Structure 1
Amino acid sequence: MNTTSRTALRPQPRQAPAAANPYAGQHRRRLLRADLLTVVAWASVAAAVALWLADGGASGFATAAGAFTAAGIVAGLAGMDLVLLMLLLAARLPVIDATVGHDRALQFHRKLGKPSLYLLLAHGVLLAIGYGLAEGLNPVSEAVSLWVLVPDMWLAFVSLALFVAVVVTSLAAVRRRFPYEFWYGVHLLTYAAVLTSLPHQFSVGGLFAAGTWQRWYWLAACIATGAALLHYRVLEPLVATFRHGLRVSRVVAAGHCAVSIEMTGRHVDELAGSGGRFFIWRFLTPGQWWHPHPFSLSAEPVQMDADGGGRLRITVRNLGRGSASLARLRTGTRVAVEGPYGVFSTAARSRRHVVMVGAGIGITPIRALLERTPFAPGDATVILRGHDSSGLYLADEILDLCQRRGAALFHLTGRRPPGVDTWQPEAEARAGYRLASYAPRLADADVYVCGPAGWARNVLDDARRAGVREEQLHYERFDW
C-alpha cells in the first residue's frame, strides 16, 4: 500500500507472470454488440430510402421538377429516420446503455442533431422548389400555398421550427447562456416536434399509401420508438420509485462544500452491485420534484432487516443552485429514482489490472467502483487528486478499502503549475511524473477517470501516450 502526497515513488517489484484475462470474452461481446447496433442504425436509414425506391420513387428523377421533389423526399426520409434514432439513443434502452454507456449514447444523440436538422431543412426547401417548378411558382409562393391549401401541412412547418429551436439551444455556446431549467424545457420540444411532423407524412400525397411496405415500416418505427420512450423513460422509473419507497433519513457534512444524503427504502439490495454506475434522483419537494440529479452511489446499499428494508447513500457537492439546495433536504423527503445507467463499472472491463483516477467530487464514483469491481491484491491502483486534503472526498473510506483489498493508493494535492496543462500538482509535474509512474502496468490496465472535463482530458491523454488503447479508457459524465 502506497499513500503519497508529493512524495517520491518507490520502484515496483518484479511482477509475476500475468494470468489469463477473465474479461476478454466480455470485451469481445461488447464490441460485437456495438458493431451490430451500428449496422442496425445505418440499415434503418438505408431501408427507409430503399423502400421508397422500391415503390417507384426513382421515376421522379425524369424531370427537373421531379428530381428536386425526389431529392426532397429522400432528405426527409433520412432526416426523420435520424430523428427516431436520436430518440432511441436518449431512451435509455438497456442494450444501448450496456454496450456504449449512457454518456456515449448521448454524445451520438447530439452528433445526429445537426445532420437531421440539415436534412429536414433540405426536405422543405427542395420540395418547395420541386413543387414550384411543376406549378410555375417560386419556392416562397409555393411554401405559402402549401401552408394555406394543404391539410396538415402547417403542422410540418411548426415541426421544423421546433426542431430548429431544439438544435440551436443544444449548441454549447447557447446552452451556457441559459439556466438548466430553460434548456430542459426547450429540449422537451423534441417530442412535440416529432408528433407534429407525423400527420403530414401519412395524409399528404401517396408516399405512405395504405398497404405499402413504406407505411408499415414507418408505423412500426414510430410505434416502437414511442413505446421504448414510454417504457424506459416513464414506466420503469415510476415502478422503481414505488417499489423502493426511498426517503431521506439524514443529511450530513462530507467535506468542503459537500454533503452525504442517506436514504432508507425497500429492496435496496436490488440497487447494489452497480459500481460507479449512476442513478437519476428526484427529491419530491415543491421546488425540486422536476429537477433530475445524476449521482453515483457513494456506498453500496446496506440491508437492515429481513423484510427488505435497507439504506443507501449519495455524496454531492455544492456546484450550483440545484445541488446547493440538496443540503437543506428535510428528513422524510420522498425520493424518485431511475437507473442505474452507464458503463462506469465492471461491465466495461477488458483487462485484469485496473487504474482508478478521481478528482474532487468525482472521487465518489471511484469509491463505489473500488468497493465492487473484482481484482486481486496488487492488481489495482487508486489515484485521488485535490487542491488540498479537504478536496479528497471520502478519503478515509477509500484508504480503508484499499488496505482491505490490497490496492495501491496515491493522494496528490496542491495547485497545478502556472501555464502548464497537466492533471498533476506542481511538484509531481515538474519532477516529470506521468500516469505510468504511479501504475507501471498501465498499458495493460483498464483506466477509469472521473472529474472535471478539462482535468479528465489531461489524464486520458497521459494514458494514451503510455500506450493505453481507447477500449481500455472509461470516462463518463454523469448527465441527464
Structure 2
Amino acid sequence: MSLRTAPPGRQADRARTASVDRTRRIRSRRRTRTADLMIAACWASVALAVSLYLAYGGLSEVTDLASGLTAVGIVTGLVGTDLILVMLVLAARIPAIDRVVGQDVAMAFHRQLGKPALYLILAHGVLLTIGYAMTDGSNIVALTIVFFQGSDMALGYLGLGLLVAVVVTSVVAVRRRFSYEAWHLIHLLSYVAVLTALPHQLSASGVLAEGTLQRGYWIGLYVLAFGAIAVFRFAVPIVRSARHGIRVSAVEQLAPGVVSIHLSGQGLDRLQTAGGQYAIWRFWTGTTWWHAHPISFSAVPTARSARITVRDLGRGSAAVGRVRPGTRVSIEGPYGIFTDAHRVAPRMAVVAAGIGITPVRSLLEHSDLRPGEATVVLRGGDLGETYLWNEIGELPSMRGNTVFSVMGPRPRGLGTWLSAEALARGVTITSVFPALRESDLYVCGPQSWADLVIRDARAAGLPAAQIHVERFDW
C-alpha cells in the first residue's frame, strides 16, 4: 500500500483553507459570546434597578393593599424606564454593538422592547394613581386632575403621551400608512418622552434620594443613553464629515429610477468600509437636508472616491437621485455585518434581487475568494432590473466562481423567490447551491422575497448562524 501525497501547491491551499476556516470559527464564537454578554447586560440592568429599590427599603412601607399597589407601581415605572433607556442605547449606533450583532439586529431588539416598556409605564401610572387614591380616600379622577396641576407629574404624563405616539406608530400596520420621513420624525419624540419624564423621576425623593447608589445608577444610565446618542449620532458624524469633505462628483443614470452617485473626498479609505456595509447619508440641498438616508456602498471606497447606488423607492430617495454634482454630503457610519468578515463556513452562496445588488457588489469586491468558492444568483423581474450585473463577473474575486441569473416574473400564489420559468425547469435552492450546508448564505432584496429565500434555506438544513440578510425596508 502506498500513500499519495498532494502536490506542494495543493497542500498549501488546504493549509490556508484550514487556517481561514479556523479563524472564522474562532471569530464566530467570540461574537456569539459577546452578543450573549450584551443581552445579559440589558437584563442585568433591569434586575439592578429593582434590586436597588428593594435594597433601600422599597418593601418596608408596604403595610396594606394601597401601599402594595403603590410599591408595584413604582417597580413597573423603574423597569419600564430602564427598558426605554436600554432602547436608546441600542439605537445610538454604538460601533461595538454594530460590529457584534449589526444595527438591524440591535434595532429589532429595540423594537421588541417597545411594547413591554409602554405597558409597564402605563401600569406605573394606573397603579400609582389607584394606590394614592386609596391611601387618601380620594376620587381617582380628581386625583388625576391634581397630578396634572403639578409640573413634575404633568411632565410625566406628557412623556407618557409621547411614548404612546412613538410605540403606536411603530406597529407595522400603522407604520405603513406613514412615509419614512414622517415616521422618523415622530420616532424622534422618544428622546423628548424620556427627557420630559426625568424631572418627575428625580423628584420622587423617596425612590431616588440624594446620596444613594440608586440615584447614582439612574443618573449614570441617563448619561450613558443620551451620551451615546450625542457622541455617535451627532458628534462623530459631524467630525467625520468635516474631515473627509465629501461631495457629489457625478450622478450616473443606470435605469429608470436608479442612479449611481459618485462621491469624492479626502482619505475615504480611512472610513475602513467593509464590502457590504452601508452608511447614513445626508445631502445638503433644499429638499434633502432635513432627512438622512441609509444607503449601501456599491463599491468599496478608495482614498478619494466612493459610490452608492439609489433606487427611487419613495419621495425621499427620489429627491436623493436628483442631487447635483458639487452637493455637500454628510456621512454617519459605515455600519452593518453583511460582510465577508462574518462568514463561518468555507463556501459562499449569494442571492440578490433588485437594488439588493448594491451591497452584494461591494461584498464580492471586498471578499477574498478562491476559484469555486462562491456561487451568486442574480434575480430580476425583467431586463430593467439588471443594473450593476455586468460588474459582478468582472470582479477579480469572481474569477473561477459561478454567477447565475434568474429572470422573469414569479408565479402568483406559489410563494416562491424563483421565476416561473426557473420553477418549470425544476430549479431549487439546493440545485443552485449543491454545497449549501457548507456555505454562508447572503441574501439581499425586498423583505417578503428575502423571507422566501431564507425559508427555503432553513428547510434545506442551513443553520441560522450561516444566514446573513440585508433588508431594504424600515
- Shorter-chain TM band: over 0.9
Q: Deviations over 1:147-197 (max 9, x none)?
A: 22x451111111111111111111112122222222122111111111110
Alignment correspondent of 2:97 = 96
Residue 383 in 1 paired to residue 369 in 2?
A: no
Written as runs of structure 1 = structure 2, the 5 A alignment for 1:223-302 is 223-302=223-302
Alignment correspondent of 1:452 = 446
Q: Secondary structure at the match of 1:356?
A: strand
Residue 271 of structure 1 and its aligned partner are, at CA, apart by: 2.9
Is the contact made by 2:447 and 2:472 (CA closer than 8 Å) also made in structure 1? no
Residue 125 of structure 1 and its aligned partner are, at CA, apart by: 0.2
Equivalent residue in structure 2 for 1:438, among 401, 412, 432: 432
Q: Deviations over 1:54-95 (max 9, x none)?
A: 111122333101110000001000000000011011000112
Alignment correspondent of 2:30 = 29
Equivalent residue in structure 1 for 2:458, among 446, 454, 464: 464
Is the contact made by 1:355 and 1:445 (CA closer than 8 Å) also made in structure 2? yes
Q: Secondary structure at the match of 1:152?
A: helix
Q: Secondary structure at the match of 1:60?
A: coil
Range moving further from structure 2, 178-187 or 379-388: 178-187
Paired AA for residue 420 in structure 1:
L
Is the contact made by 2:159 and 2:196 (CA closer than 8 Å) also made in structure 1? yes
Paired AA for residue 308 in structure 2:
I
Written as runs of structure 1 = structure 2, the 5 A alignment for 1:286-325 is 286-303=286-303, 310-325=304-319
Q: Deviations over 1:310-333 (max 9, x none)?
A: 111111112222222233211100
> d(CA) in 1 for partners of 2:82 and 2:346?
40
Residue 445 of structure 1 and its aligned partner are, at CA, apart by: 1.0
Q: Secondary structure at the match of 1:301?
A: coil
Is the contact made by 2:209 and 2:215 (CA closer than 8 Å) also made in structure 1? yes
Is the contact made by 2:251 and 2:262 (CA closer than 8 Å) also made in structure 1? yes
Alignment correspondent of 1:4 = none
Q: Secondary structure at the match of 2:209?
A: coil
Residue 286 of structure 1 and its aligned partner are, at CA, apart by: 1.1
Is the contact made by 1:202 and 1:208 (CA closer than 8 Å) also made in structure 2? yes
Is the contact made by 1:360 and 1:392 (CA closer than 8 Å) also made in structure 2? yes
Q: Name the structure, 1 or 2, with higher relative contact order (CA <8 Å, separation 6+).
A: 1
Alignment correspondent of 1:6 = none
Alignment correspondent of 2:58 = 57
Alignment correspondent of 1:184 = 184
Alignment correspondent of 2:222 = 222
Paired AA for residue 265 in structure 1:
G
Residue 273 of structure 1 and its aligned partner are, at CA, apart by: 4.2
Paired AA for residue 81 in structure 1:
D
Is the contact made by 2:343 and 2:440 (CA closer than 8 Å) also made in structure 1? yes
Residue 98 of structure 1 and its aligned partner are, at CA, apart by: 1.1
Is the contact made by 2:73 and 2:126 (CA closer than 8 Å) also made in structure 1? yes
Paired AA for residue 62 in structure 1:
T
> d(CA) in 1 for partners of 2:92 and 2:291?
18
Is the contact made by 1:360 and 1:386 (CA closer than 8 Å) also made in structure 2? yes
> d(CA) in 1 for partners of 2:90 and 2:58?
30
Residue 431 of structure 1 and its aligned partner are, at CA, apart by: 3.1
Written as runs of structure 1 = structure 2, the 5 A alignment for 1:324-363 is 324-363=318-357
Residue 175 in 1 paired to residue 184 in 2?
A: no
Paired AA for residue 88 in structure 1:
V
Equivalent residue in structure 2 for 1:424, among 415, 418, 422: 418
Residue 272 of structure 1 and its aligned partner are, at CA, apart by: 4.6
> d(CA) in 1 for partners of 2:471 and 2:412?
27
| RMSD between superposed Cα atoms in Å | 1.7
Gaps of 5+ in 2: 1-13
Q: Secondary structure at the match of 2:259?
A: strand
Is the contact made by 1:276 and 1:366 (CA closer than 8 Å) also made in structure 2? yes
Residue 156 in 1 paired to residue 148 in 2?
A: no
Alignment correspondent of 2:78 = 77
Paired AA for residue 35 in structure 1:
D
Alignment correspondent of 2:4 = none
Residue 402 of structure 1 and its aligned partner are, at CA, apart by: 6.5
Residue-pair matches, total: 458
Is the contact made by 1:281 and 1:292 (CA closer than 8 Å) also made in structure 2? yes
Q: Deviations over 1:254-300 (max 9, x none)?
A: 13431111011000111354110101111100110122111111112
Q: Secondary structure at the match of 1:57?
A: coil
Is the contact made by 1:364 and 1:393 (CA closer than 8 Å) also made in structure 2? no
What TM-score does the superposition give when structure 2 sets the normalisation length?
Answer: 0.93
Residue 120 in 1 paired to residue 121 in 2?
A: yes
Residue 418 of structure 1 and its aligned partner are, at CA, apart by: 2.6
Q: Deviations over 1:227-270 (max 9, x none)?
A: 11100000011011101101111111113431111011000111
Residue 435 of structure 1 and its aligned partner are, at CA, apart by: 1.3
Equivalent residue in structure 1 for 2:363, among 342, 366, 369: 369
Residue 360 of structure 1 and its aligned partner are, at CA, apart by: 0.5
> d(CA) in 2 for partners of 1:468 and 1:86?
31
Equivalent residue in structure 2 for 1:412, among 387, 406, 410: 406
> d(CA) in 2 for partners of 1:129 and 1:273?
55
Question: Which stretches of structure 1, 4 residues or longer, exceed 6 Å deviation after superposition?
Answer: none
Q: Secondary structure at the match of 1:288?
A: coil
> d(CA) in 2 for partners of 1:58 and 1:381?
62
Is the contact made by 2:392 and 2:398 (CA closer than 8 Å) also made in structure 1? no
> d(CA) in 1 for partners of 2:361 and 2:207?
55
Is the contact made by 2:393 and 2:399 (CA closer than 8 Å) also made in structure 1? no
Is the contact made by 1:256 and 1:391 (CA closer than 8 Å) also made in structure 2? no
Residue 68 in 1 paired to residue 69 in 2?
A: yes
What TM-score does the superposition give when structure 1 sets the normalisation length?
Answer: 0.92
Q: Secondary structure at the match of 1:333?
A: coil
> d(CA) in 2 for partners of 1:24 and 1:405?
26
Residue 404 of structure 1 and its aligned partner are, at CA, apart by: 4.7
Is the contact made by 1:151 and 1:204 (CA closer than 8 Å) also made in structure 2? no
Residue 374 of structure 1 and its aligned partner are, at CA, apart by: 2.2
Is the contact made by 1:295 and 1:478 (CA closer than 8 Å) also made in structure 2? no
> d(CA) in 2 for partners of 1:405 and 1:139?
74
Is the contact made by 2:273 and 2:334 (CA closer than 8 Å) also made in structure 1? no
Is the contact made by 2:345 and 2:438 (CA closer than 8 Å) also made in structure 1? yes
> d(CA) in 2 for partners of 1:115 and 1:289?
34
Q: Secondary structure at the match of 1:61?
A: coil
